[in-house]
Amino acid sequence: MSLINFSDLDVQTQQELAHLFQISWIVLIPVGVLLSLVLYQLFLLLYGLVEFLTVSRYELTPILKDVRRTAEHVEILTNKAVSGVRGAQDGFAATGLAVTAVKYRIEALFRGLRNSFSRTSFSRK
């Protein structure tokens, strides 16, 4: 494979090739500059992203620990509240049985008193 020898070409072709090289340099220089600007902006964006992630990690870690502790405390309080409600339900159930028993005893007492007063006649003489 050999390179093209420009001296073998005619003058018009040499001028056209020279003109093509000049135009391509005129186009390549701004494209290269713009490409380097885009790469620089991409670098700044990635650097900002890395810095944001670093700050987020150091700032969010204590917050997440606090949220985790809060969730644990809420779970403990919830368990205590559930056990308290169950205890209250058991207490109400036991109280309901006791109230029912007292109610029957009071009714029996009043029935007995009523029956005893109805048997005794107070007569006037």
* Residue 6 lies inside a defined structural domain of this protein: no
Tell me which amino acid residue 31 is.
V
Range of the domain at 87: 24-117
The mean pLDDT value for 39-64 works out to: 93
Count the domains in the chain.
1
What pTM did the predictor assign? Answer: 0.43
Residue (of 29, 22, 25) closest to 14 by Cα position:
22
- 83 domain residue, yes or no: yes
C-beta of residue 53 within 8 angstroms of C-beta of residue 61: no
Q: What confidence tens digit (pLDDT) does each residue in 87-107 have?
A: 888 877 777 777 788 888 888
Tell me, what DSSP letter sits at residue 124?
Answer: -
Query: Is 101 inside any structural domain?
Result: yes
Alpha helices in 1-125 (DSSP H): 11-119
C-alpha distances (whole Å) from 21 to each of 28, 30, 43 are: 10, 15, 32
pLDDT band at residue 47 using 50, 70 and 90 as cut-offs: very high
d(CA 28, CA 18): 15
Residue 60 reports pLDDT greater than 90: no
DSSP 9: S
Encoding tokens for residue 48? 């900002």
In a domain, 49, yes or no: yes
Q: Using 50, 70 and 90 to split pLDDT, how confident is the model at 114?
A: confident
pLDDT score recorded for residue 125 = 46
Domain annotation covers residue 8: no
* pLDDT tens figures, 7-37: 777 888 888 888 998 898 899 999 999 999 9
Given pLDDT bands bounded at 50, 70 and 90, which one contains residue 4?
low
Question: What would the two tokens of residue 83 be?
Answer: 């056990």
Q: State the Cα–Cα distance between residues 104 and 98, nearest whole angstrom.
A: 10
